[in-house]
Structure 1
């Protein structure tokens, strides 16, 4: 995996987040390089700049390396993007003192004079971001968007014109182009969330623009809802919760349980929070809060006091446009650590992803609960007896209390992100 980012006189060491994942994926792409090259070629001054969708900080670290005082506003919906940017700034001994952070729902300051964007995979989300910019950018403000050349077409330029202002694309360089969009100064209304119902479960669902399966129940979640585990569960994590539909139904099925919703997408976490309130699922006799909502990288910052007896998980197998299984590995390994002894990890996934191999290696057990032509539901239980450590180069084990993290492989092990 290449970690040396070089454009003109800029040389940086950049890693994806977490830096110990063993994938062959870079922390940047040619569109990042093209944007930085464009700024250097045009001798762009260090004005107040908003950077949007900077996957792991390639754009931010480059600008700070050009001018340590460059004022930056970083907008992201992904916690891994924020953590990755901070990681790469620290690794390159660059300060984050001049960086202001916002998520994709917070107000953009009116002081922004230039915007750099990476084109997201979700074009509905892209339109949302453009409409937000239209509300604050004065007429004439440039928005530079880096994208693969094959992704740029007439309909994309029409989306820009409709939501922000006229746009044109540069010549192709390394199979990428830079779109220059000029704000027309006309404020657009932000798109509303999409709402729909699951009549048989008596659930109302509302999705913000960057949430997976925005307009209907995805088929993986459907088979999961129809095959929830049996048991008297009291603490449940909906890991990678999306709009929270699995956690919502878990509360219906296990009314005495406390539900913890966790996702890398801030919009997903907020959608889950709104859906919890919308469906009024709290059990009257239970004291205190009955749900928590965490914007986090899997279970990385889970409160040590949370010891779930059930984790529901529908792992993503992509990160942006990159296909990768390292997120599933991380979810499964961290679930081992978090679960109490006897606790269950209940997983749904595409059959071809072979999650049963991963779960068997981590938990030393795996049961097929249900399957169809495309999806399979798997269940693994954390057992109290010690598991054998993995015989993978660089692997580590941890010896702690029998009810915490005994002999679980550390994420820095060679197994982390390994292919099956």
Structure 2
């Protein structure tokens, strides 16, 4: 059981009514609160919930529209996303109670300060290296997600790209150094469908469609806010692409001409390499013969031996600012 869920189970009397659990972890918390409903924006967690608690959890960027007495936010990493979600949840329970639960090292005390903007906040529990805060009858002005978007313009290989980024998306409102390097090295990709793995705000996928207009572009991410950002970026540039949710490379189509990625290795306050390492192990199954994997990664990550073991010889195309572009061709 996630420690944040354990904290809620120490105070069960507060969550017996119609409760919305936003960003809940993939555990058995819903078993203990039969009247609760979940909202997740993580595709992997959603797959778990649909198998374990079918029909009780909604996936996406919008909260399930039902009457609630109580709402609980499991603290996300992003401060901007926290601010947006707090306002959304407060608007759902104007006569009820809004709670925030999170790890101390994840910034829950910072989130408690954000909570004070909605009413008088008080700490209810402190256990399992977590804190639980609440505010009764929160006051908030309803907000729309698209109003929180950050837009910026890029010039890549002589083409202008309008990028739209939503709260919680990697490198929100700016181009990170790794992706900037990758955008400079997208020449001479094989023909066939192209996959932007971990598409985020859609910078790579949209650029690929500009560079290779005859290719079908697939854009995959585990996060619903990233997927919506990618859709908005495509729309802003009048581009077409297939944007879809999935927890890792297993969700991708087969027969790809190339997989291009700035693969993620952070999730929440913890570091996770599993999605990236699984990509390197399984990429060959999704590439056509002669298909190519081209990724950018921090130079300290020991990816080349894994790439060569499962795909083929690994070549370094470029290196700058602590990042490297790796290329490998399916044998």
- TM-score, normalised with respect to structure 1: 0.73
Q: Equivalent of 1:253, from 197, 202, 211?
A: 211
Q: Equivalent of 1:175, from 129, 136, 160?
A: 129
Any residues of structure 2 matched to 1:377-388 within 5 Å, and which? 377-383=325-331
Q: CA deviation at 1:373?
A: 4.2
Helix, strand or coil at the partner of 1:328 = helix
For these two proteins, the number of residue pairs brought into alignment is 326
| 2:29 alignment partner in structure 1 | 62
Unaligned 5+ runs, structure 2: none
Q: 1:82 and 2:36 equivalent?
A: no
Say whether the 8 Å CA contact 1:311–1:346 is kept in structure 2: yes
Say whether the 8 Å CA contact 1:350–1:376 is kept in structure 2: yes
Unaligned 5+ runs, structure 1: 6-27, 90-94, 282-289, 384-420
Point out the structure with max Rg over C-alpha.
Answer: 1
Q: 1:160 and 2:160 equivalent?
A: no
**Residues in 1 aligned to 2:209 and 2:39: alpha-carbon distance in whole angstroms:** 33
**Residues in 2 aligned to 1:181 and 1:292: alpha-carbon distance in whole angstroms:** 41
Q: 1:46 and 2:10 equivalent?
A: no
Say whether the 8 Å CA contact 2:281–2:306 is kept in structure 1: no
Say whether the 8 Å CA contact 1:232–1:254 is kept in structure 2: no
Any residues of structure 2 matched to 1:50-199 within 5 Å, and which? 50-56=20-26, 58=27, 61-64=28-31, 66=32, 70-87=34-51, 89=52, 95-97=53-55, 99-104=56-61, 106-139=62-95, 141-150=96-105, 151-153=107-109, 155-162=110-117, 164-190=118-144, 191-199=147-155
Q: 1:299 and 2:249 equivalent?
A: yes
User: What is the CA deviation profile of residues 335-383 of structure 1, one whole-angstrom value per residue up to 9, with x for unaligned ones?
Assistant: 2111000000001000111111211111132111111240000011111
Helix, strand or coil at the partner of 2:153 = strand
Q: CA deviation at 1:273?
A: 1.2
| 2:181 alignment partner in structure 1 | 223
Moved >6 Å (runs of 4+): none
**Residues in 1 aligned to 2:94 and 2:66: alpha-carbon distance in whole angstroms:** 8
Q: Equivalent of 2:308, from 335, 342, 360?
A: 360
Say whether the 8 Å CA contact 1:234–1:254 is kept in structure 2: no
**Residues in 1 aligned to 2:162 and 2:93: alpha-carbon distance in whole angstroms:** 35
Q: 1:331 and 2:295 equivalent?
A: no
Q: In the superposition, relative to structure 1, how do residues 217 and 129 fare at CA in structure 2: closer, same or farther (>3 Å)?
A: same
- TM-score, normalised with respect to structure 2: 0.91
Say whether the 8 Å CA contact 1:108–1:133 is kept in structure 2: no
